[in-house]
Structure 1
Amino acid sequence: MTDTDAIPRIPTGINGFDQIALGGLPAGRSTLVAGTTGSGKTLFAIEFLARGVQNHGDPGVFVTFEEDPDAIRTNVASLGFPIAEWEATGKWTFVDASADIAMEASTIGAFDLGALTVRIAHAVRRIGARRVALDSLGAVFGNLNGFGSLRHELFRIVSALDLLGVTTVITSERPEEYNSVSRLGVEEFVLDNVIILRNVLRAERRRRTVEIIKFRGTSHRTGEWLFTISPREGIVIMPLAFLRPRERASTERVSSGNRDLDAMCGGGFFRDSIVLLTGPTGTGKTLTSLFFAAAAVRAGERCLLQTFDETREQLARNAASWGLDLDAMEGSGLLRIVSEYPEVASPEDHFLRIRRVIEEFGPSRVAIDTLSALERIVSSRALLDFVIALGAVLRHHEITTLLTSAPTGRVTPTVTPAIAMEVASLTDVTILLRYVETGGEIQRGIAVLQTRGSAHDHSIRRFEIDNTGMHIGDPMRGLSSVLGTVDPAAPGGLAQPSPQAGGERPGERDVRRPDGDADG
């Protein structure tokens, strides 16, 4: 252990934060948590205390300068924190300074920090507290003027807390998301540890991130980390909250729902596989998802089918055209369909909903159609975090998963799918669907680009779609550049050709499908 790692940590218990902090907050020190309105400062402080009581039996003192204790008790009830019960058993106590601040500021213009420090010390000793939270500094120091006096008074209260041997979280407002760290401009210089919570508006949507600016004398992870706030789970930092080491890799095979595709993949998918199926509109992505779900029902397994592109009614109509009865499958209790458009929630909230269904429904299989729809509302980094977190949950539960995506361009793929580029390295099986024109006829081709831990068919095969499903045929002999030119950066080393790249030959080129062809 190095000197910088010798400082003991106290776990916060906040979902994913201790992974960023490499174990938790430095013990016996004060940490500044700064953020703008709605960034989650108060919730961070509350969770730090509440998780300490829940997980470690650490008593805590919450010092409130603005919110009434009754409001705090009510606001966190959905998280399952029985604060009133903890107060009765001596695990939690409030120091309510909100009324004192309002009265003293209006009469003498300043708040008596000496009296406040005495009250906090008394509360700490009375219940044997190990954790303290102060929310927030702006209310205490708002009437003080001058950098020197602000710094002196802040140092005074922080020193008193450190002498008590408690680990403290102190919240403070920020005037903007970037540039300055705090509103008063002195907090970050006095405190040993600084954390920033952001609530940035980008592309008309809010995106919360957390960043550790400094842990004096010890190490931590750097950069901004995406998080969301769940009414049931509190702060959830993605994807770190869900990454767990895999204890084993399954060798059991399950069917894709298509015997020919199973054969191309070496006998089916491994039980814990994550499969990425990518192709333009109408090549059979939704069809494959439906037959994948039907195979689960036939095997007596539960399957979650999440669709971002179609309504439940559209999906049932399409399934019926291929002889599949979704109503009957749902009625059996083995199929759960969740249909919602990406725009109704953030990707983080979509993830939490999917995870909640997985935990409640307990599926053996999951199909998500399509990831590309989420690209309408999210950056590539946030979408990658979504997939990493989802993959961690799926692998932990050993769930066979089918993810679909579409390339840029509705039919003729001119750019390798952005999400496929990012996700391919995280998946176990990558399957590519493609349109090809040969002899004046539009044909479909399928190729298995990778199957981790298994041999697979390396040929590009023709396939057809009719009212009974997908039928995979013979290899497409005598053709070249069907799937694109070689590009090491693309999934499996294959990229989609650009119009400038050439690759067109008489009787062998990419075409747009005629309008009106049903989307598969």
Structure 2
Amino acid sequence: MSPVVKVATGISGLDRITQGGLPKGRTTLITGKSGAAKSVLALQLAGHFARSGMKTVVFAVEETPSDLIESGDSLGFGLSELVAQGQLRFADLTHPADSATVVTGDYDITAMLHRVEAAAKEFGAQALILDSATALFSPKPSEERLRSHFFHLIDSFRKYQLTAVVTAEAPDDYGPRTTLGVEDFVCDVVLVLRNLIDSERRRRTIEVHKYRRSGHQKGEYPCTVSARGLMVFPFGAPASQERLQNERFSSGFEGLDSMMNGGWLRDSITMLRGPAGSGKTTMAGMYARAGAQRGERVAYYGFEETKPMLMRNFSNIGMPMEEFTQAGTLLLECRYPEATSPEDLLVELRQSLEEFRPSLIVLDSISSVAHSTSTRGFRQFMVGFASLVREHNRSALLTQTINDVKEDERTAPFLSTIADAIISLDYHRHGKKLERTINVTKMRGSAHSDDAFRLMIRPGGLGVSELE
């Protein structure tokens, strides 16, 4: 069996879960309920195909060409420019809005097949988008005729070697793939988009339901519609193949470097865990500030305080950050996770990695993200974040509020596998005195101290000393 020749989609996450893109000269079906972003993905693919040199025709059945072009341009697909360049063409198949539909005789698809032939021969189309099959076969013919017509339509795409994408409405998120009910066996690929309500919040996912003659990643993957179109976040994305150096960098305060056998390991994810008031945000600030002082770019995301409050608190403890934010070496963003979604946070993190290019990333605190979404949504966010960090070979520090390790059974198991190192903070009261402690619980690829040390909050940040 010859290998499937694939066409890249221009969406890195989608190319990963399809292991290279969509099959060339074959048909891909995109299904989902209303609002699942089927048309967005179809237009995004149309723009990418045309921009890649494949002449593309879009058969507009549900919305007029002008509406589709306007939508695509608003998302940065540049459809009107591609039309002007002669790389993209729209064919209007919408029903007149000001007249009633009169059904008489049998449904006939001959005219549609002629238009496909004309697109292939006259325009020289190599790719085709049909949005949507549900609207095309409305009013719906008998099941027997529908099956026959749909087969002939897909066969015509194959006859003219068109890389085709067809959208169709689904009656349910996890039920039949479409309301038409006859497409799965004809199309080579079936992509299912979902826009689910999860713990009173909307959560988008994409699934490769079927890919004929090709492997693909199984299961649902988080996705979101951003200002640049659909973005997909695969789990376990392959990390950069660059050889990792056995490099370390300073923690920023005396004592901890010795506990970690020389400092933080480069390109690692560290989890900083402890109860409220144990010094997690202060340590996160020292981590970020030390990096900025070395001339590295640092992205700090705070989820529990406003930016003015965080800047004031850092300054009051002797760790002013203004010079680094003004110099552009420290990107400090603060927002409440409840005001956005985990998928949108991943979008921002990806854009930060690609545009700001930080070497160090801080998330303070992931507990706030966990409280703003479901258990499943939080797990997907964390695995997606870890994949981004591994892909770009970056170092990250994550803080987590936890009063007792045993009480965190809901998230601790998978979080512990994500983290390369875990540093635990705690405190105990002895009479009137509060004694804080720190210990390195885990550190992959490095020897480290097993002892607990006293942790002191003082001007300039934190300090470490031997326990008496």
Q: Percent identity among equivalent residues?
A: 34
How far apart, CA to CA, are the structure 2 residues paired with 1:418 and 1:246?
Answer: 33
Alignment of 1:75-474 (within 5 A): 75-99=71-95, 105-106=101-102, 108=104, 112-232=108-228, 234-239=229-234, 243-407=238-402, 411=403, 414-416=406-408, 418-437=410-429, 442-474=434-466
Shifted more, 40-49 versus 357-366: the winner is 357-366
Contact 1:347 1:383 in 2 (8 A): yes
CA contact (8 A) 1:132 1:166 kept: yes
Task: Decide which of 35, 46, 49 is 2:46's aligned counterpart.
Answer: 49
Matched, 1:6 2:18: no
What amino acid maps onto 2:194 in structure 1?
R
SS in 1 for 2:192: strand
Provide the secondary structure at the position in 2 that maps to 1:225: strand
* Residue 32 (structure 2) aligns with: 35
C-alpha distance 87-320 of structure 1, shift in aligned 2 (>3 A): closer
Residue identity opposite 1:12 in structure 2? T
Question: In 1, are the aligned partners of 2:240 and 2:390 still within 8 Å (CA)?
Answer: no
With 129-138 and 393-402 compared, the bigger mean Cα shift is at: 393-402
d(CA) in 2 for partners of 1:241, 1:58:
31
User: Which residues of 2 match residues 67-82 of structure 1 at below 5 A?
Assistant: 67-82=63-78
Q: Which structure is higher in RCO with an 8 Å CA cutoff and minimum separation 6? A: 2
With 168-177 and 250-259 compared, the bigger mean Cα shift is at: 250-259
Question: Larger C-alpha radius of gyration, 1 or 2?
Answer: 1
Instruction: List alignment gaps of at least 5 residues for structure 2.
Output: none
Residues 363 and 266 of structure 1, relative CA distance in 2, 3 Å threshold: same
The answer to whether the 8 A contact 2:16-2:234 is kept is: no
Mapped partners of 1:212, 1:381: distance in 2: 19
Deviation at 1:265, TM superposition (A): 0.9
Q: Secondary structure, in 3 states, of the residue corresponding to 1:117?
A: helix
Q: Alignment partner of 2:289: what SS?
A: helix
Q: TM-score, normalised by structure 1?
A: 0.83
Q: Which is worse superposed, 71-80 or 98-107?
A: 98-107
> 1:250 and 1:191, CA in 2 relative to 1: closer, same or farther beyond 3 A?
same
Deviates more, 1:97-106 or 1:309-318: 97-106
CA RMSD of aligned residues (A): 2.6
**Contact conserved, 2:17 with 2:234, CA < 8 A, in 1?**
no
Per-residue CA deviation, residues 464-512 of structure 1 (Å, 9 max, x unaligned), is 2234432212147xxxxxxxxxxxxxxxxxxxxxxxxxxxxxxxxxxxx
Amino acid at match of 1:463: L
- Per the TM alignment, residue 88 of structure 1 is displaced from its structure 2 partner at its CA by 3.3
Deviations 1:188-211, CA, capped at 9 Å, x for gaps: 244343221111111111111112
The range that moved more, 373-382 or 344-353, is 373-382
- Distance in 1 (alpha carbons) for counterparts of 2:95 and 2:410: 54
* Cα contact 2:107–2:141 (8 A) shared by 1: no
The CA distance in 2 between the partners of 1:197 and 1:102, in whole Å, is: 32
Aligned residue identity for 2:171: P
Question: In structure 1, what residue type is equivalent to 2:28?
Answer: T
Deviations 1:308-358 (A, max 9, x none): 011112212321331122334423433221010001111110121133234
Query: Could you give the per-residue CA deviations for residues 435-466 of structure 1, whole angstroms, max 9, x where no partner exists?
Result: 34567854222111222222211112222223
Q: Secondary structure at the match of 1:143?
A: coil
What does the per-residue CA deviation read over 1:88-127, in whole Å, with 9 as the maximum and x for residues that have no partner?
Answer: 3332111211146986944758765211211121112223
Q: Which residue of 2 aligns with 1:511?
A: none
Letter of the aligned partner of 2:5 in structure 1? Answer: P
Distance 2:34 2:20 in 1: 27
One-letter code of the match for 2:217?
Answer: R
Return the letter of the residue paired with 1:308. Answer: F
Partner of 1:305, secondary structure, is strand
Secondary structure in 1 matching 2:466: strand
Query: What is the alpha-carbon distance in structure 2 between the residues aligned to residue 327 and residue 11 of structure 1?
Result: 43
CA contact (8 A) 1:15 1:241 kept: no
Give me the TM-score of the superposition, normalised by structure 2.
0.92
Aligned pair in 2 of structure 1 residues 397, 314: CA closer, same or farther (>3 Å)?
same
In structure 2, relative to structure 1, the CA distance for the partners of 1:221 and 1:390 (3 Å cut) is: closer
Contact kept? 1:262, 1:268, Cα under 8 Å:
yes
Distance between the aligned counterparts of 1:241 and 1:59, measured in 2? 34
Q: Secondary structure at the match of 1:288?
A: helix
Q: Gaps spanning 5+ residues in structure 1: where?
A: 477-520
Tell me, yes or no, if the aligned pair for 1:372 and 1:419 is still in contact at 8 Å: no
Mark the CA change 1:302 to 1:13 in structure 2 (over 3 Å): closer, same or farther.
Answer: closer
| Local SS of the residue matching 1:19 | helix
